[in-house]
Amino acid sequence: MAQINPSILSADFARLAEEAKAVEGADWLHVDVMDNHFVPNLTLGVPIVEALSKATDTPLDCHLMIEDADRWAPSYVEAGAGSVTFHAEAAAAPVRLAREIRAKGARASMALKPATPIEPYEDLLPELDMLLIMTVEPGFGGQAFLDIMLPKIRRTRELISKHGLELWLQVDGGVSAATIERCAEAGADVFVAGSAVYGAADPAAAVRDLRGLADVATAAAPWACDH
C-alpha cells in the first residue's frame, strides 16, 4: 500500500503537536530540516524534532536539507526520528553515514536534488532503506511539481527491481491529487505532501484521498505487476 507522509512545513509551526494529531492515520510525519546554507530557508532542528517525537505516535521522517550531513544526521536519530534522509549532495561519506544511521536504529535514506542523477549511486542502493527523488528544487513548500523528474523515478524503480531491493522510493515536492498518480505509475511508493494535506479543509481526509489515488495508480502500473 502507498505510504503518505504529510510535510509539517505547511503546518502551523506554533501548533505542531495539534497539527501532528490532525493527520493521525498518516504513515509518517515528514519533517523538513533546513539550515539556510544547503537551501535558502531556515526551519527547525534537533530540539524541535525531539519535542515532536514525544508529542506524536506517528513516526518521524526527517528530511535534512543541511550541509555537513555527516556531522549532524546521527543527532536526529538520537532525537527520535524513525527515518533520516540526508542529501547526496551534502554527504562526504554517504556509505559510512547510512551505516551509522542504521546502527543507531533508524531507517537510512538519501535524497537527490532534481539535477543529481541516480546512476552514480546504483552500487550504494543496498546501503539504503529509502531513496528520495525531489520533484521540486528543495527549500520551499507549495512549488509546482516537476514532470521532468518522472524518467528518473522510472529509472530508479528499474534499478530497485534489477537488484531485487526492499528499497522504498519517495517523492517530495508538488505532490497532490493532480500529480500523485503520475508518481505512482512511474514507480514511487512513498509520497510526501505538504500543501496538499495542510492546505485542505480536512487534512486527514486529504491523506486518505491521496492514498486511494496512489493505490489505484500503483495497481495499474507495470512495475507493480508482480507485487
Which residues form the interface with Zn ion (CB under 5 A)? 32, 63, 172
Of 112-141, binders to ligand DX5 (CB under 6 A) are: 136, 138-141
Single out the residue of 26, 175, 184, 188 in contact with ligand DX5 (rule: CB under 6 A): 175
Scanning 83-91, 160-168, 171-179, 210-218 for contacts with ligand DX5 by CB under 6 A, the matching segment is: 171-179
Catalytic-residue membership of 172? yes
The nearer residue to Zn ion, 153 or 223, going by C-beta atoms, is 153
Say which residues have a Cβ less than 8 Å from residue 100's Cβ, sequence separation at least 6: 73, 74
| Spatial separation of the C-alpha atoms in residues 52 and 37, rounded to whole Å | 24
Active site residue 61: no
Grid cell of 91 as nine digits: 554527504
Binding mask 32-51 for ligand DX5 (x = CB under 6 A): x-------------------
For ligand DX5, which is the closer residue by CB, 30 or 157? 30
Which of 143, 224 has the CB closer to Zn ion? 143
Q: Site residues for ligand DX5, window 55-114 (CB under 6 A)?
A: 63
Q: Do the Cβ atoms of 57 and 27 come closer than 8 Å?
A: no
CA nearest neighbour of 190 among 63, 97, 18: 63
CA dist 156 and 26 (Å) reads 25
Per annotation, catalytic residue among 27, 61, 129, 172: 172
CA distances for 204 relative to 21, 42, 79, 87, 111, angstroms? 9, 27, 26, 29, 26
Closest approach, Cβ 158 to ligand DX5, in A, equals: 24
Query: Based on C-alpha coordinates, what's the Rg of the chain?
Result: 16
Which is it for strands 168-172 and 190-193: parallel, antiparallel or unpaired?
Answer: parallel
Least spacing, CB of residue 214 vs ligand DX5, in Å: 14
Of the pair 53, 176, the CB lying nearest ligand DX5 is at 176
* Site residues (vs ligand DX5, CB under 6 A): 7, 9-10, 30, 32, 63, 136, 138-143, 172-175, 192-196
Catalytic residues: 32, 172
